[in-house]
Amino acid sequence: MTKLIDGKHISALVRQAVAKEVMQLKSQGITPGMAVVIVGDDPASRIYVNNKKKACAEVGIYSEEYALPADTTQEALIALVQELNSRSDIHGILVQSPLPKGLDEKAVVETIDPRKDVDAFHAVNVGKIMIGDFHFLPCTPAGIIELLDRSGIEIEGKRCVVVGRSNIVGKPMAMLLLHRNGTVTICHSRTKQLAEICREADILVAAVGKANFITADMVKPGAVVIDVGMNRNENGKLCGDVDFAAVQEIASYITPVPGGVGPMTIAMLMKNAVSAAKIQNGLSL
Ligand code: GUN
């Protein structure tokens, strides 16, 4: 019988723990503060930013939104990030991606003080993740590890296959599974015999961005299937990368979309914001 991994419930537990930590910090005179920067009017980004602000308010994190017009210059955006870097009441800085055409996202991210980089996108933090010496973990992969841990799923010694090699999900996901002693394979659009490799997985993470990409014939009976996809099907309904109806018949555990990985991303962002406030106040994590 396949067990559904309930990301809504697990993310609520993480947010509860974060709220408790925020209360403790406030009792020491420290209020974690986060700045959320959005440029332009991408509707999906607007929803994400609203959700992040709401999550901050719910756990007691102070947040400020900077909504800039689409024609904002690179210089103005960099100047804003530099100003936020210098503020002692702002511990986390998040620049929502994608940025409008003409803005250099990489340069903007590299301007964020690595200690305030709650997305863990800065090259310094990416490097720290690689060598296993990290304070912040990228939110989606960290959320997936949390889902596995809280579901009692062992990673050590398991065959893990990550499908997708993005800087935000695929690559750091592989690294985190490796740190936990999984045996990891990364697959991508040029991978040959993809189905065969996926079928070897005890833990299969799908981060492709294509609806129904992972079909039942690609899944070993009893595998744990984690679906990072956020796609719209032909009827406009939100769906993941996994053919859920068929795969749930053979997987041991599976994450639904919505209600699986998605809610974990923001919960882990809140956790990173608290870590940032602690680090910047000389407290241990
Ligand atoms: N756009 C889509 N996902 C993310 C994210 O996790 N962080 C930021 N900054 N932008 C995003």
Could you give the number of structural domains in the chain?
A: 2
* 208 assigned to some structural domain: yes
Stated pTM of the model: 0.96
Catalytic positions, written as ranges:
52, 96, 119
Residues paired with residue 143 on neighbouring β-strands, in sequence order: none
Distances (CA, A) of 131 to 119, 153, 176, 263: 18, 24, 11, 28
Domain of 196?
Answer: 139-262
Same domain, 159 and 231: yes
Structure-token match 């009692």, residue found: 152
* 226 assigned to some structural domain: yes
Q: Which residues contact 216 (CB under 8 A, 6 or more apart)?
A: 243, 246, 247, 249, 250
* 40 assigned to some structural domain: yes
- In this structure, which residue's CA is closest to atom 3 in ligand 1? 97
Which CATH number goes with the domain that contains 90?
3.40.50.10860
* 99 assigned to some structural domain: yes
pLDDT tens for the chain, 285 residues long, are 789 999 999 999 999 999 999 999 999 999 999 999 999 999 999 999 999 999 999 999 999 999 999 999 999 999 999 999 999 999 999 999 999 999 999 999 999 999 999 999 999 999 999 999 998 999 999 999 999 999 999 999 999 999 999 999 999 999 999 999 999 999 999 999 999 999 999 999 999 999 999 999 999 999 999 999 999 988 889 999 999 999 999 999 999 999 999 999 999 999 999 999 999 999 998
C-alpha torsion angle, residues 174, 229, 117, 41 (rounded to 10): 160
Mutate which of 97, 108, 169, 266 for ligand 1 pocket (most atoms within 8 A of beta carbon): 97
* 11 assigned to some structural domain: no
Same domain, 81 and 162: no
* 42 assigned to some structural domain: yes
Same domain, 153 and 231: yes
Which CATH number goes with the domain that contains 206?
3.40.50.720
* 186 assigned to some structural domain: yes
Same domain, 157 and 248: yes
What ligand 1 atom has the least distance to the C-alpha of 168?
6
* Ligand 1-lining residues (CB < 6 angstroms): 94-97, 119, 139, 265
Same domain, 73 and 173: no
Same domain, 85 and 37: yes
